[in-house]
Amino acid sequence: MVPEGKRVSLVEKLALFDEYSSPRIVGELNGQYVKLAKFKGEFVWHEHEHEDELFLVIRGELKISLSSEELTVRAGELAIIPRKTRHRPWCTDEAHVLLFEPKSTRSMGESGASENTQGEWL
């Protein structure tokens, strides 16, 4: 459900949670979710079978390891990771990131881990 005129402040939403590597949903459109996440440390290597994934860095610097290279994505930059591409987000210092991905996307790809969810609405 997308109410008319939904306006979202990224900073206000990011102030509502502290947990790392636990994306929260802040918007929905065209079968996609807009999520916010805080990262610090290493996330797991994973891939999404059917979904491309966008990382837009709002604060800090996010590294995304790929099989053959490593991306450094700074505040004001975005990266798109195509489906079926193994990747591992990580960062030494805290980074705040906006994610854009289909509603079906789970954070750890096809992993059966209990914490591998689509995230909760903020």
Q: Which of 37, 73, 91, 97 binds its own copies (CB under 8 A)?
A: 73
Pull the structure tokens for residue 34. 């807009």
Phi, psi for residue 31 in degrees, rounded to 5: 75, 10
33 near its own copies, rule: CB under 8 A:
no
How far apart are alpha carbons 93 and 52 in whole angstroms? 25
Q: How many residues bind its own copies (CB under 8 A)?
A: 41
In the complex with its own copies, which residue's Cβ is closer, 10 or 122? 10
96 closest CA partner among 10, 16, 28? 10
- Distance from C-alpha of 88 to C-alpha of 85, rounded to nearest angstrom: 10
Q: Please check whether residue 88 is in contact with residue 48, taking contact to mean a CB–CB distance below 8 angstroms.
A: no
Looking at residues 85 to 104 of the shown chain, list those that interact with its own copies (rule: CB under 8 A): 85, 98, 100-102
Out of 24, 43, 47, 51, the only residue in the binding site for its own copies (CB under 8 A) is 51
11: enclosing H helix or E strand: helix 10-14
82 binds its own copies (CB under 8 A): yes
List interacting residues with its own copies (CB under 8 A).
Answer: 2-11, 27-30, 32, 34, 51-54, 56, 58, 64, 66, 68-69, 71-73, 76-82, 85, 98, 100-102
